[in-house]
Amino acid sequence: MVTQEEVLEEYGLESMDEQRNVGLTDDEIDNGSKGQLIKKAGQLRDRRNELNQMASERASKRDDLNAKTREKVDEAQEHREKRDELNEQVQEHKNSRNELNAEANELFDEVESKKQDLELGSGKSIEELKEEIEDLEFKQQTEVLSTEDERELIEKIEDKREQLAEKKEKVDNSGDLEELVEEAEEVRSEASKHHQKVTELADEAQEHHNRMIEAYREADDIRDEADAMHELFVEAQEMADRHHEDFVTVQKRLRELDKEEEQEKKAEREEKQEAEREEAEEIYQKFKEGETLDTEDLMKLQKTGLL
């Protein structure tokens, strides 16, 4: 089983250095200053982006590996289909071979039966008888024999000639025996051709079977790498999501701080406006009582709308 470290090294991908991860505590959220939180948000954002990029690279490589796995599985399936197709042809040729062999056997049995009927299978063959006659005649012509020996030799020659004539007559009377032998041999030859095809196709089918097994093995190896790469993707994505969640938390806290600041500023403005209004009312009261107002007092009255 391939390890994550091996996969990272094989495809030249960066490992996730946990020391570069950015942490966030409740104390930082609750008590951190705005400046500290802005800095923390930047760190979280940058690390999140790095991790998202890392996860994207791993996901892309995982998808490539899954695609290669599918290619290998498709290749294996093609070899399986070709193997099965060839095995069907093997079976067809086996059936034909067996049928032809059975037919040839029947024909040869018929030949043997005819030979037995004609007694061609017993004794010496025509060719053997011809050779023996030639040898005896050669002996008669080349050797000096006594009258008794020569008479015995002539009797042997005549006996052999009678056997030969009998054999030839039986063959002549056998009718289609030679044609039957020829037909049986032709059928056997055709069966041999089918047997040869059985051997060739079976070897080819075995080759496709071996290649199918190899393709499935390669698919399993690549799938293991894809699974390991997926785990690495999940690891990086989950860490990126954690940094994003912390980034969102900090952003939310910053918005709260902005809101609090705005509320404080609003309260200060309202307090200032109230003080100015009270001061203007006092000046206006003096004006009604006949006191002389300077320019600054008049401007205060105008600002508050009392003049």
Query: CA quadruple 116, 119, 122, 126: dihedral positive or negative?
Result: negative
Q: What is the pLDDT of residue 38?
A: 95
Given a cut of 80, whether residue 297 has pLDDT beyond it is no
Q: For a pLDDT cut of 90, what percent of the chain falls above it?
A: 53
Burial class of residue 24, CB neighbours in 10 A (0-12, 13-18, 19+)? buried
Q: Which domain holds residue 153?
A: 121-173
Distance CA 284, CA 298 (A): 9
Whether residues 142 and 250 fall in one domain: no
* Same domain flag for 10 and 149: no
Query: Is position 101 within any domain?
Result: yes
Residues 35 and 51 in one domain: yes
Residue 136 has pLDDT above 80, yes or no: yes
Is the CB of residue 72 less than 8 Å from the CB of residue 275?
no
Among 89, 80, 100, residue whose Cα is nearest residue 197:
89
Indicate the angle between helix axes 147-173 and 34-118, nearest 10 degrees.
Answer: 120
By residue count, the chain amounts to 307
CA distance 307 to 300: 9
**pLDDT bucket at 147, cuts 50 / 70 / 90:** confident
Indicate if 199 and 235 belong to the same structural domain: yes
Is the same domain home to 24 and 139? no
**Is the domain of 202 the same as that of 59?**
yes
The reply to whether 24 falls in a domain is yes
24 with 116, same domain? yes
| Same domain, yes or no: 9 and 95 | yes
Residue 124 in tokens: 């010496």
Task: State whether 92 and 216 are in the same domain.
Answer: yes
Work out how many domains the chain is built from and give that number: 2
CB burial string 171-187: b at 16+ within 10 A, e below? eeeeeebeebbebbeeb
157 touches 129 (CB < 8 A): no
Q: Residue 218: which residues within 8 A CB-CB, separation 6 or more? A: 72
Please report whether residue 297 resides in a domain: no
Name the burial class of residue 98, with classes exposed (0-12), middle (13-18) and buried (19+) by CB atoms within 10 angstroms of its CB.
middle
* pLDDT of res. 119: 57
Assigned token pair, 261: 């600041």
Chain centroid to Cα 20, Å, comes to 38
Name the least confident of 107-111, 173-177, 240-244, 303-307: 173-177
Q: Is there a domain that residue 277 lies in?
A: no
Check residues 124 and 307 and name the one with the higher pLDDT: 124
Does 82 reside within a domain?
Answer: yes
Query: Phi, psi at residue 108, to the nearest 5°?
Result: -65, -35
Q: For 290, list phi and psi in degrees, rounded to 5.
A: 100, 5
Is 173 a residue whose pLDDT tops 80?
A: no
| Domain contains 151 | yes
In whole angstroms, give the CA distance from residue 159 to residue 144.
21
Domain membership of residue 239 (yes or no) is yes
Asked if 75 and 86 sit in the same domain, the reply is: yes
Same domain assignment for residues 158 and 249: no
The residue behind tokens 């062999």 is: 101
User: In the chain, where does DSSP find H-type helix?
Assistant: 4-10, 26-31, 34-118, 126-142, 147-173, 177-288, 295-304
Cβ-count burial 126-162 (b if 16+ within 10 Å, e if not): eeebbebbeebeeeeeeeeeeeeeeeebeeebeebee
Residue 223 within any structural domain of the chain: yes
**pLDDT tens digits for 45-98?**
999 999 999 999 999 999 999 999 999 999 999 999 999 999 999 999 999 999
Interatomic CA distance for residues 272 and 200, integer angstroms: 105
Q: Looking at the structure, tell me whether residues 126 and 258 fall in a common domain.
A: no
